Amino acid sequence: MWIFREIILKTKSSYEMQLLALTSIIGFALFIERLWYYLKNRVNIDKLVDQLHQMMEKGDLDGLKHFAYSKDTPFHRVLRVFVDNFDLSEDLLMGLVDAQILREREKLTKYLNGLATVAAVSPLLGLYGTVTGLIDAFHQIAVTGSGGPEVVGHGISIALLTTMVGLLIAMPALIAHNYFARKAGEISAKTDAVIRDLLIISYKAGVRKR
């Protein structure tokens, strides 16, 4: 499309477009890094709940421990802390679990502030390009005394393109940020719920004594 050719041409000659290009590269790199991390650590917690509950009902702590060490995901790492410290008092045990959940949540939300910054800064850079483009257009009018398309065309073109590109960068960055932030909260909440369920089942099954 001609619009993409125009963007490429303007990027070569406009520092505003170059700043936007740099911002888009940063945003894309952060998105790919987060996507890779989540794909590498994905686990369907809902499908595992019944299996884990059955193990705890049977008092199969060895089975739980084997399961916890079978993979290296945030959920499995939290379960390891729970199983490895199962003999501690409830307060100490859940304190360790909560601390591990916080550590995993920190890993899950890593670089999300960067994505949020890209989403916030891109429209501002686009607005900056709009202003400088209009300034250039009016400057050319003042210098030449004419307001024809050949005089103001470059400035107006930069003004409109930077606005459009800024929005095109910001929208996917914002969507990605919100998606990953929601996933981080979801994983943390489900992990916490499963661990607390296992603790309750351990009392009911007589695996732990009050």
Question: Is the residue at 57 inside a domain?
Answer: yes
As a whole number, mean pLDDT of residues 145-155 equals 61
End-to-end CA distance of the chain: 70
Per-residue confidence band for 181, with pLDDT thresholds at 50, 70 and 90: very high
Domain hosting 76: range is: 2-126+163-204
Q: Does position 201 have pLDDT exceeding 90, yes or no?
A: yes
When comparing pLDDT for 68 and 146, which is higher? 68
Q: How many domains does the chain have?
A: 1
Q: Closest Cα to residue 45, out of 53, 37, 55, 34?
A: 53
With 0-12 / 13-18 / 19 or more C-beta atoms within 10 angstroms meaning exposed / middle / buried, residue 26 is: middle
Q: Does position 209 have pLDDT exceeding 80, yes or no?
A: no
Question: Is the residue at 53 inside a domain?
Answer: yes
Question: Is the residue at 90 inside a domain?
Answer: yes
Q: Is the pTM of this model over 0.75?
A: yes
d(CA 98, CA 36): 25
Per-residue confidence band for 206, with pLDDT thresholds at 50, 70 and 90: confident
Question: Is the residue at 134 inside a domain?
Answer: no
Query: pLDDT digit string (tens) for 114-123?
Result: 999 999 999 9
Q: Does position 188 have pLDDT exceeding 70, yes or no?
A: yes
Question: Is the residue at 157 inside a domain?
Answer: no
Question: Is the residue at 175 inside a domain?
Answer: yes
Q: Tokens for 39?
A: 């794909």
One-letter amino acid for residue 187 of the chain: I
When comparing pLDDT for 10 and 177, which is higher? 177
Question: Is the residue at 29 inside a domain?
Answer: yes
In the chain, the percentage of residues whose pLDDT exceeds 90 is 66
d(CA 28, CA 5): 20
As a whole number, mean pLDDT of residues 35-44 equals 94
As a whole number, mean pLDDT of residues 167-190 equals 96
As a whole number, mean pLDDT of residues 64-83 equals 95
Question: Is the residue at 147 inside a domain?
Answer: no
